[in-house]
Amino acid sequence: MGQDVVLSELDKNFLLNSIRDVNDFPKPGIIFKDITTLLNNKDAFELLMNHLEERYKLYNLDFIAGIESRGFIFAAALATRLKIGFVPVRKKGKLPSTTVCEKYELEYGFDEVEIHLDAFNNKENARVLLLDDLIVSGGTAKASASLIKKLNANLVESCFLLNFTVLDGKDKLSKIVPVYSVLEI
């Protein structure tokens, strides 16, 4: 597999400090972690992408699946660096061709994600990395992992910029796929 590349505490702090906190968004009591300030900081974004490229360059991946919507940014950028395919995991009804979907539970109700049936070009055991900006409860990530496995792909790892340790999403997901998070908050 690949090597375990670790960021220094200085680099982790630089990345954390490049992410803006927005109080009471999307509702009162929530502190939203706004990654747009990391994205528009060329040094922070470059540091993150260099780190991810270094970590995954020896994994022999075929595809990176990014979860809608912020996961698209990191997954597409990393796929380009690794010269492999990017696959979007979208909310139900957003993909134009034949899909497979997975339902997951929300705080109040359910939602669904889907992926094209031919997302991995019908390659048997395609080696796939699942990537998103953050994991909290893990519902979307777990549903996305299930979709990838339904297509007989080899889900090698899931990766998140931020793991919110207040909930156990990372622990739940790690029961079905190895999980790497760049930053823990």
Q: What is the pLDDT of residues 70-121, one digit of tens each?
A: 999 999 999 999 999 999 999 999 999 999 999 998 767 899 999 999 999 9
* Residue among 173, 153, 156, 176 nearest 164 (CA): 173
The predicted pLDDT at position 18 comes to 98
* Residue among 115, 110, 108 nearest 94 (CA): 115
| Per-position b or e across 37-68, b if 16+ CB within 10 A of its CB | ebbebeebbebbeebbeebbbebebbbbbbbb
Q: What is the pTM of this model?
A: 0.95
- What average pLDDT does range 32-54 have in this prediction? 97
Which range, 1-5, 14-18, 23-27, has the best average confidence (pLDDT)? Answer: 14-18
Between 42 and 4, the more confident residue is 42
